[in-house]
């Protein structure tokens, strides 16, 4: 199993035969009768041919790489130009080797950060995970080296993985629904595929899995309506999407911050810090190269969805306005947070890039 995959499963090389501190093994048989199915915002869209899962947080990471790499790269460029302009490579005694060494170090560091920004900008974007009902397979773009990974729905082992997070403020536990593909005849993990973002409730991943099982082997009428999600490729929906994956339950369904000091402080700090990283990430997710769908599902992914037996809950008036970037209170909040984030980003440049000129 690849190192990056091992890190996601807490360093495990083999999947335990029983649940424990790491998480739970979920049932693979039939349609569940003891748990109410729920999409829990894990599903972007559903129709008679496939489930398209909500995108992962990859956009956030790439947005951070692009903005941070560009800003710090510009700061090193400013330092390089200042040394070259103010001091030069010569003094009264002639050529100064030390200054050349400093310029080379600045050039290498600046090139490294600019390279990080470029890679974040132009690396292929992973499409959302797809589950084909006809082929009974998950399709997942792993990376440029491994390409598309196709996992058989009937053979993978679903797990409710424990994700423990620690900080100076304390610890918290969340739960992630994931598919584990094992090496035949063993418990050795070959591929690990998370299908949803971490949830606070231990039941939520199990309810999402119950939804998937009902979709694959049950009747549409037994499934609840899927929550309407902001469009992936519409830039007007960016702020609505940022509300959902940055703030979660701290912002209600109508995009208002829930009452409480903690929620306001959290939204202010995270939003003010992450605004430009997230906006850049969502922009990259629309403009960066994308891999072509595998041949076996390319045709059905290209077909329009005229109708479907699977219901989608209609968005509220506030959600509809938010998805069109026309919800006043959401726009005002993000205008303030965007201003704070702009100051934050400019400060990163100013701390490194301006002092060498004085």
* pLDDT per residue rounded down to tens, the chain (358 residues): 333 343 445 567 888 888 888 888 898 776 666 778 998 888 998 999 999 998 876 667 889 999 999 999 999 999 999 888 887 776 666 566 788 888 899 999 999 999 999 999 998 888 899 999 999 999 999 888 888 999 999 999 999 988 776 543 445 688 889 999 999 888 898 998 988 888 888 889 999 999 999 999 888 888 999 988 888 889 999 999 999 888 888 899 899 999 999 999 999 999 999 999 999 999 999 999 989 999 889 888 888 777 788 888 889 999 999 999 999 999 999 999 999 999 999 998 888 878 777 7
Q: Look up residue 356 and give its DSSP letter.
A: G
Structural domain boundaries, residue 26? 8-40+138-227
Task: Give a yes or no: residue 218 inside a domain.
Answer: yes
Task: Give a yes or no: residue 46 inside a domain.
Answer: no
Task: Give a yes or no: residue 222 inside a domain.
Answer: yes
Q: Structure tokens of 225?
A: 């309506």
- pTM given for the model: 0.82
Task: Give a yes or no: residue 329 inside a domain.
Answer: no
End-to-end CA distance of the chain: 52
Name the domain count of the chain: 1
State the CB neighbour count (10 A cutoff) for residue 22. Answer: 15
Task: Give a yes or no: residue 251 inside a domain.
Answer: no
Task: Give a yes or no: residue 342 inside a domain.
Answer: no
pLDDT tens, residue by residue, 171-180: 568 888 999 9
Task: Give a yes or no: residue 109 inside a domain.
Answer: no
Task: Give a yes or no: residue 184 inside a domain.
Answer: yes
């Amino acid at each position: 199993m690849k190192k990056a995959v091992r890190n996601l499963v807490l360093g495990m090389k083999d999947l335990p035969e029983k649940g424990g501190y790491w998480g739970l093994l979920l049932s693979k048989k039939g349609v569940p009768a003891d748990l109410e199915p729920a999409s829990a915002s894990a599903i972007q869209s559903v129709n008679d041919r496939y489930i398209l899962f909500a995108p992962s947080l990859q956009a956030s990471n790439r947005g951070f790489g692009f903005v941070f790499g560009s800003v710090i790269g510009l700061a090193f460029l400013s330092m390089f130009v200042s040394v070259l302009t103010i001091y030069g490579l010569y003094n009264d005694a002639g050529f100064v080797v030390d200054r050349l060494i400093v310029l080379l170090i600045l050039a290498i560091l600046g090139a490294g950060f600019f390279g990080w920004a470029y890679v974040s900008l132009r690396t292929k974007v992973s499409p959302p995970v797809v589950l084909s009902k006809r082929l009974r397979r998950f399709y997942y773009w792993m990376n440029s080296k491994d390409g598309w990974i196709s996992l058989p729905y009937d053979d993978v082992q679903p797990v409710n993985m424990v994700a423990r997070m620690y900080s100076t403020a304390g610890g918290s536990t969340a739960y992630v629904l994931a598919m584990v593909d094992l090496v035949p005849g063993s418990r050795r993990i070959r591929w690990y595929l998370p299908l949803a973002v971490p949830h606070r409730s231990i039941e939520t991943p199990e309810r999402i899995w119950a939804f998937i099982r009902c979709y694959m082997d049950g009747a549409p009428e037994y499934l609840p309506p899927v929550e309407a999600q902001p469009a992936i490729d519409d830039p007007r929906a960016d702020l609505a999407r940022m509300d959902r994956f940055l703030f979660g339950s701290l912002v209600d369904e109508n995009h208002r911050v829930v009452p409480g000091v903690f929620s306001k402080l959290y939204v202010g700090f995270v939003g003010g810090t992450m605004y430009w990283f997230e906006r850049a990430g969502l922009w990259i997710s629309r403009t960066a190269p994308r891999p072509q769908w595998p041949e076996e599902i390319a045709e059905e992914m290209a077909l329009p969805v005229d109708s479907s037996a699977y219901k989608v809950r209609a968005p509220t008036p506030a959600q509809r306005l938010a998805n069109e970037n026309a919800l006043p209170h959401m726009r005002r909040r993000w205008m303030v947070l965007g201003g704070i984030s702009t100051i934050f980003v400019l400060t990163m440049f100013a701390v490194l890039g301006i002092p060498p000129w004085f």
